[in-house]
Amino acid sequence: MIGELAALGAAISWAVSALFYGKALQQARPISANIIRLTLTGSILILFLVVLGKFTFLTSLPSGVVVISAASGIIGLGLGDTLYMVSLSRIGVARAVPITCVYPLFTLIWAFFLLGEPITWAVVLGAIVIVGGIWFLGQGAHAGEVDAKKKSLVIGMVFALLTAILWSISIAMMDVAVRETPDLNHALAINTMRVIAIAAFFFAASPLLDRKLGFLKVPKKTVIALVAGGIVALGLGWFLLAYSFVEIAQSRAVPISSTTPLFSTLASVFLLREKVTARTAVGSVMIVIGIFLVFLA
């Protein structure tokens, strides 16, 4: 039960963080936003470990775990989350989050090709339902929209799908790292390592990634929103997912964590006042149903 609750907590955390990101991206470019989010959140997580007297768990991680954790952070939090922010800025929370949450499907594909796990008819049905859900999300645009708006919608959806692929790879790598040191303290250390690895890279490369150093010109309120979202998503959400891997199998934890669209769709309506059409709602529900069909087959 603890593992399932941790995975559900991760889903809720990511839904909440999407609201912070959605607001912040109205005032900051995705790459600038990610540099701020990662750098400041990474610093806070290190301080958190020091205050709790658990910093030694970070420094004592086996070298292999450090490498896997760092690679997971670069792939998922660096590349994946930057594309995620681009998709959020282009198509909004209600559309972007459900599409990115098809990452369990790709996790299954990796297991098929790399581990030889079989694909059943239930899995095929789940995949069809997921694709149908994505199609519904893409039909939310009005027929009278200009071509530029439609092009932005397509780009946003493509980036959201790429995000899902990168997240699935990152999650698989994090699961490997957690299995090497399966306890609460090391799960916290591994999650921190993921964040600080990509944070250090992004900050060092900021003159190249953000040539005008736009992250230094972001308004304070936007910075606060990004840090808040970072703490909720990177500090709490990803830690809860890592801990769920300690308690239950990935095949149970991942689909539970992917229920984020249900929470984000509701939140985007009541808090961000985004227009969520019937098609968007149906698409979100279809994606979640498809994910469960895939993993509960």
CA distance 26 to 49: 32
Overall domain count for the chain: 1
CA distance 121 to 184: 37
Lowest mean pLDDT among 25-34, 60-69, 131-140: 131-140
Under the banding of pLDDT at 50, 70 and 90, the label for residue 240 is very high
Beta carbons of 76 and 167 less than 8 angstroms apart: yes
The pLDDT value given to residue 135: 74
CA distance 158 to 87: 8
Query: What does the pLDDT look like over 83-99, one tens digit per residue?
Result: 999 998 888 877 888 88
The pTM of this model reads 0.82
Owning domain of residue 117: 2-295
Widest CA span in the chain: 59
Burial zone of 55 (CB within 10 Å; 0-12 exposed, 13-18 middle, 19+ buried)? middle
To 5 degrees, how large is the angle CA 122–CA 128–CA 132?
145
Of all helices (H) and strands (E), which one includes residue 22?
Answer: helix 2-24
Q: Any alpha helices (H) in 25-146, and if so which ranges?
A: 30-52, 55-59, 63-73, 81-91, 93-100, 103-115, 121-138
- 166: pLDDT strictly greater than 90: yes
